[in-house]
Amino acid sequence: MRALKLALLILALLPAVYCHAPKPPPVTDPRVALVDLMPALRKAGRMPDTGALQLVGAWQMRSGNPQFGNFSGLAQTGEGFVTVGDRGGVLWFSRPDWPRDRPGPWRTRLARLINLEWRKYRYPVDAEAVAVEPGTRNLLVAFEDAPIVERFSPDLAQRTRIPLPVFAEWPPNQGPEAMTRLADGRTVVVGEVYARWLDRTRHPGLIFPGEPRPFEIPARFTVNMPAGYRPSELAQMPDGRLLVLGRNFSFAGFRSVIGLFAPADVRPGATITPRVIARISDPRIRENYEGMTVTREADGSQAIWLISDSNEMVWAQRTLLLKLRLKP
């Protein structure tokens, strides 16, 4: 393990060949279909109960394109949403509820952050979290097994590597799983790894005062998740409160929780125990949810959106998009 961490750190410090690689070709014909699941849920006579949140939208996205799926992060753009995938894919899509809330057709654009063939050059491919920079619309992407984040221009033509050796402290497959930019400018990252060897509830968090800078040493805090749940996403609500999405996997399948806490709680040395406001366990909608963002709706309410990671198992798992609202 120590040798692997050292290798990852060296990768971050040395000039890497992939900084000069050509831009991956866009996928111009994604053929993403959208299936509204709400009619079938209503027909069953009992809507899924998620606690303090009300399910107001549920869709399944499908595509025969091999680059589609495995989505692990979700963020907002001016036109809708953007999500990144475990195998280098990135999908922009409009809000599926626009025909009801505002005019506009369902639109998608599928592309690649990288080519999978570049893995032999130590390219990171497992994108786990994405944030959109205010103003520029640049994408800030965190990867599972690399001590870096990368900044991509909106057209993916330009990319900038930001080495962060602090990520090398986290073991493979348990790296920066959740990331968000706060309204005050800070960038907050939470790892999937446990903060303590025998403690299966605490997870390490990092606080950057702005967008992460190369080799920056962030402040640290801890997130105390419900037993058995690992953090998979962070998001800030328009009213300032923060949400953390947690997931649990067992032989019975996936379960998810959503916890709530205050931005003032995110401070150096703090241990945060979010208040759980929702649990997703209904077999009709439960999945491996790894992406989350929050929108301000036309009526002033706040909507929470979740997207699931199909784990390259499209025959067994689904790419679901949920829309939830706080119950009155």
Is the predicted pLDDT of residue 273 greater than 90, yes or no? yes
197/185 Cα distance (integer angstroms)? 32
User: Per residue in 29-79, pLDDT tens?
Assistant: 557 888 999 999 999 878 999 999 999 999 999 888 777 878 889 999 987
Average pLDDT over residues 224-235: 93
For the chain, the domains span 2-326
CB 141 within 8 A of CB 155: no
The pLDDT of residue 241 is: 95
pLDDT, position 302: 93
Q: Which residue has the higher pLDDT, 200 or 128?
A: 128
Q: How many residues does the chain have?
A: 328
Q: What does the alpha-carbon distance between residue 42 and residue 317 come to, in Å, rounded to a whole number?
A: 22
Name the one residue in this structure whose structure tokens are 């971050």: 12
How far is the C-alpha of 244 from the C-alpha of 237, rounded, in Å?
A: 11
pLDDT band of residue 111 (cuts 50, 70, 90) is: confident
Q: Residue 20: what pLDDT? A: 37
Residue 109 has pLDDT above 80, yes or no: yes
| Topology of the domain comprising 2-326 | Tachylectin-2; Chain A (2.115.10)
What whole-number distance in Å separates Cα of residue 148 and Cα of residue 129? 12
Strand partners, 53: 326
How far from each other are the two terminal CA atoms of the chain, in whole angstroms? 49
Question: What does the alpha-carbon distance between residue 162 and residue 189 come to, in Å, rounded to a whole number?
Answer: 14
> Which pTM value belongs to this model?
0.87
